[in-house]
Chain A
Amino acid sequence: MTDVLGSGAISYTPSIIADQLITGINSDQAQQATLEQELSSGDVINQPSDNPAGAADLLQLNATLARTQQYAANATDGTAWLSLGNATMNQIMSALQQAQQTVLSVSGAQLANEPGALQGLATQVSSIRQALINLANTTYGGQAIFSGTGNVTQAYDQNGNYVGGGSAPTRTVAPGVQVAVGVTGGQVFGSGTTGLLGTTGVLAQIVQDLQTGTTASLNNVQNADAQALSTAITQVSDQAAEMGANYQRMQAFAQQATNSQQVLQGQISGIDSTNVAQVSTQLTEAQQSYQSALWATSQLSQDSLVQFLS
């Protein structure tokens, strides 16, 4: 039997007090559970309702991070291609310079009557041509690096004809940015029979002129052929420079992708990472309040007028 004592005052029956204690214990426990989840997972956002806008941001940032990691992987792959390409270009250049040395060593009048020596020089140039064909067919992971997108296994056939495609493959290294991972054989050596490596190309021409061995043909070697060879070397060296520039770009983009990853990871942990110190403190507070609620509950049944009536 109860009365309202004055306006607004509640008369506390044992069941009200019990309900309040239960509510208190439950809410303390829920608070503790939330904080413990944050600590154990290390994440503030464990489900979308923890922070809806933050969760959507996280999904987007994670997608961008994954894309950036792919850019870095693409750039790493591209760097490997270009690195092999540059090394091959250096070998090609030194082979061509060797051929140039040979051509320069030809002095028409003195060698005209020495077919043996001429044949030796011709063999030398011929083997340089063969070496160049092999270098032009260099592969990375089974893919010929000078064949563009046209042919997987080889860029030149044994006769020195270009059998690759029209453009070099590219790698996507930043949003909308694609960098070529090589140059095509056509750009380096030209294509067809008249290309540098072709059956009527300059190297083949030099071999033929040396084998002919006449003063006129030797003059040809010293003038027209030397001229053509020098043009071809310029062409190769231009392409080598292009490749070197792409290598630099590829490395710069790889670096940029790595930097972006760090920035993105910073943003992600800013949204999602638990502040361990703060949450631990909050957890301690929650535990204390939980214990107080438990203690209060243990006192519930003890104090009543019943105890004092005997």
Chain B
Amino acid sequence: MGDLALNIAASGLNAQQTAMDTISENLTNANTPGYISEKVLLTVNAGGDLLGVGDGVRVVGVAQNGDGLLATNAQQSQGVLAQSTSLQQVLQGAQAVFPEPSSSGISADLSTFWQSWDAISQDPSNPAPRTAVVDLAQSLASDFQQASQQLSNLQSNAQAQVASSVSSANTMLQQVATLNGQITTTEGSGAPANALIDQRNQILNQLATTIGAVGVAQPNGTMNVDVGGVTLVQNTWSDTVTTTGGAGDMGLVAKASGVTLATSSGSVAGQLAAINQYLPAYQSQLDATANDLATTVNTQLAAGYTATGASGSGYPLFQGSGAAGLSVNSAIVGNPQLIAASSTGTLPDASNDGGNAQAMAELYNSPTGPDVKYQSLIQGLGSQVQAVNNQVQAQTSVANASQENLQSIEGVNTNDEMVQMLTYQQAYQASAKLVSTVDTMMQSLIQAS
């Protein structure tokens, strides 16, 4: 007895203390992102006694309650959500460029512009309505210019965001490689590397939401990082990602291999979709609308005559091409009498006829005119924003659910920890009691001798 019993009690005290430390670690990290709850692994110490009494309890290690599959699921669903969310931000920005339906958007301005031609026809010799038409044409041109400018701002902002995301992703890839090395070294020396693994998990989560990276666990405890099927981190080696191209063809390339990274998740993927697909499409539809406005108005003017009887074909109202280039003919701005409002070139009628202006006003719903194209731009943009809104909503639920599943395994359940705490406390008290009991026994033996 004696030595052995005290040794066993001491191993119990140590083991319960380690278990209490683990619980304490869990409780304090209950809200730490990326923290995986720990459990102490206890085993019976093989006995040194001939009768087969064991040699107490031994702490084998402190393991993590990790679940690789759930963690990968959660990462991927976060990545997909990040893709939709970043696309949603850009598209909502594009929608804000077109404040429709309202009384101040391009649609309302187009409407006012068309109606203003009837005012010329009511008083063709009066310069005031002609000046009003020129003013409205100028405000339309500036509407188109501004919308075009705002779309290109969105484009360049999105490109800048991709660049900064890529640069932070490169830092993180390097960190994962470094941690891989530290983890193998630490584990090779027999010590657990839980804290380092937690740290690596956190970085992997960020990589998943940034560039849609997927962590692939390796048998040696390291983690490879793949993006779009291309390995960017292997053991302690890491590659860097660079961007190529610009609006319409921007992409990501792995520097070492030169391979294009086809990523469909992560915030960068959403921004690239906006940069390459959505924003150029809106810009070209806006340009087409502006061109239709110029063509429709100028063609009708070419059929008419100015106040001095000259053919309107020499005096187009709109000049330039595309939304950004749309401008009002400075000759007409200087002399609104050059607006070909008359349907006859005969003098003196040309100065007092508004027939062509009347025909112009009726073009407000021309199937080849700007209004129809603009309406389809708004409808298309609205549908895409609506779709991405719904996508974000659905993917938020998926991401939340997979996060909950992961949390239920890896997270810290306070109630569970409390129950465990009581159990270990009681076991500790029992071991302590054993020590004092053995002590009493020894004393009684000493006194008796």
Chain A residues close to B by CB (< 8 Å): 1-2, 4, 10-16, 19-20, 23, 43, 45, 47-53, 55-56, 58-60, 62-64, 66-67, 69-70, 73-74, 77, 141-143, 147-152, 165-167, 169-172, 175-176, 178, 272, 304-306, 309
In the complex with contacts A2-B416, A16-B408, A66-B111, A166-B122 CB distance below 8 A: no
Q: Give every chain A residue within 8 A of B115 (Cβ-Cβ).
A: 66-67, 69-70
Given A13-B413, A19-B403, A63-B111, A1:B379 Cβ within 8 A:
no
User: Using Cβ atoms and an 8 Å threshold, which residues of chain A touch B389?
Assistant: 49
Is there an interface contact between A172 and B362, defined as CB atoms closer than 8 Å?
yes
A178 and B358 within 8 A (CB): yes
Contacts of A64 in B (CB 8 A): 365
Min CB distance B207 to A, Å, is: 22
Instruction: Verify A11–B408 contact, CB threshold 8 A.
Output: yes
Residues from chain B with a CB closer than 8 A to the CB of A66 are 108, 111-112, 114-115, 364
Q: Is the CB of B407 within 8 A of A13?
A: yes
List B252-293 residues whose CB lies under 8 Å from chain A. none
The reply to whether A59 and B404 form a contact with Cβ atoms under 8 Å apart is: no
Measured between C-beta atoms, what is the minimum distance from A283 to chain B in Å? 20
**Residue of A23, A55, A152, A309 with most partner-chain B CB within 10 A:** A55
Task: Tell me if B107 is interfacial: C-beta within 8 Å of chain A.
Answer: yes
Contact A55 B379 (CB under 8 A): yes
Question: Are A2 and B409 in contact, with the CB atoms below 8 A?
Answer: yes
Cβ contact of B418, chosen from A43, A47, A51, A309, cutoff 8 A: A309
| Contact indicator B414/A14 (Cβ below 8 Å) | yes
Does B354 touch A at the CB level, under 8 Å?
yes
The answer to whether B136 has its CB under 8 Å from any CB of chain A is no
How many A-B contacts at CB < 8 Å in the complex? 204
Partner of A2, one of B376, B413, B422: B413
A1 with B420: in contact, given A49-B382, A59-B100 (CB under 8 Å)? yes
Give the Cβ gap from A62 to chain B, nearest Cβ, in Å.
Answer: 7
Among B46-54, B189-197, B243-251, B345-353, the one that faces the other chain is: B345-353
User: Is A45 within 8 A of B362, CB to CB?
Assistant: no
Is the Cβ of A19 less than 8 Å from the Cβ of B121? no
The reply to whether B101 and A45 form a contact with Cβ atoms under 8 Å apart is yes
Q: How far is the CA of A180 from the CA of B374 in the complex (A)?
A: 34
Interface membership of B154, Cβ < 8 A: no
**B110 lies within 8 A of chain A by Cβ:** yes
Cβ contacts under 8 Å, B98 to chain A: 48
Verify A74–B407 contact, CB threshold 8 A: no
CB-CB < 8 A to A67: which residues of B? 111, 114-115, 361, 364-365
Least CB separation from B111: chain A residue = A66
Q: In the complex, given contacts A49-B389, A56-B382, what are 18 additional A-B residue pairs having Cβ atoms less than 8 angstroms apart?
A: A1-B37, A11-B416, A15-B407, A16-B404, A16-B408, A16-B411, A47-B382, A49-B381, A51-B382, A52-B380, A55-B379, A66-B108, A143-B125, A149-B353, A165-B348, A171-B122, A172-B121, A176-B362
The 4 closest A-B pairs by CB, nearest first: A48-B382, A52-B382, A49-B385, A56-B379
CB nearest neighbor in B for A165: B349
Residue B419 is within 8 A (CB to CB) of chain A in the complex: yes
Contact partner of A305 among B111, B386, B396, B418, CB < 8 A? Answer: B418
The chain B residue with its CB closest to the CB of A2 is: B413
Q: What residue in chain A is nearest B371 (Cβ atoms)?
A: A63
| Closest Cβ–Cβ distance, residue B337 to chain A (whole Å) | 13
Identify which of residues 27-79 in chain B touch chain A, using a CB-to-CB cut-off of 8 Å: 30-31, 37-39, 65
Residue from A55, A58, A149 with most neighbouring chain B CB atoms (10 Å): A149
With both chains docked as a complex, state the minimum distance between the C-beta of B55 and any C-beta of chain A, in angstroms.
26
CB of B382 within 8 A of CB of A55, answer: yes
| B37:A2 contact, CB within 8 angstroms | yes
Cβ contacts B74-114/A at 8 Å (1 or 0 each): 00000000000000000010011010110000011011101
Partner of B365, one of A45, A63, A178: A63
Chain B residues closer than 8 Å to A149, beta-carbon distance = 124, 342, 344, 349, 352-355
- CB-based nearest A residue for B32: A15
The reply to whether A166 and B101 form a contact with Cβ atoms under 8 Å apart is no
Least Cβ–Cβ distance between A20 and chain B, in angstroms: 7
By a CB distance below 8 angstroms, the chain B residues around A45 are 101
A63 to B154, CA, bound (A): 29
Q: Contact: B111 with A15, CB < 8 Å? A: no
Known: A1-B26, A176-B362. A169 touches B112 (CB 8 A): no
Closest chain A residue to B357 by CB distance?
Answer: A172
In the complex, the answer to whether A70 meets B407 with C-beta atoms within 8 Å is no
- Could you tell me if B385 and A59 are in contact, using CB atoms closer than 8 angstroms? no
Given known pairs A2-B416, A12-B408, A19-B403, the reply for A56 and B95 (CB within 8 Å) is no
Contacts of A23 in B (CB 8 A): 396, 400
Residue in B111, B121, B352, B374 whose CB lies within 8 Å of A152: B352
Find chain A residues with CB under 8 A from B143 CB. none
Closest B-chain residue to A3, C-beta based?
B416
* Given A1-B26, A56-B376: A15 touches B101 (CB 8 Å cut-off): no
Q: Report Cα–Cα, A62/B173, bound state, in Å.
A: 54
Given A1-B417, A56-B376, A15 and B352 contact (CB-CB distance below 8 Å): no
Chain A residue nearest to B91 in the complex (CB) = A49
Say yes or no: A48-B362 contact (C-beta < 8 A), given A150-B352, A151-B352: no
The chain A residue with its CB closest to the CB of B114 is A67
Q: In the bound complex, what is the Cα–Cα distance between A16 and B405 (angstroms)?
A: 9
Q: Return the chain A residue nearest B390 by Cβ.
A: A49
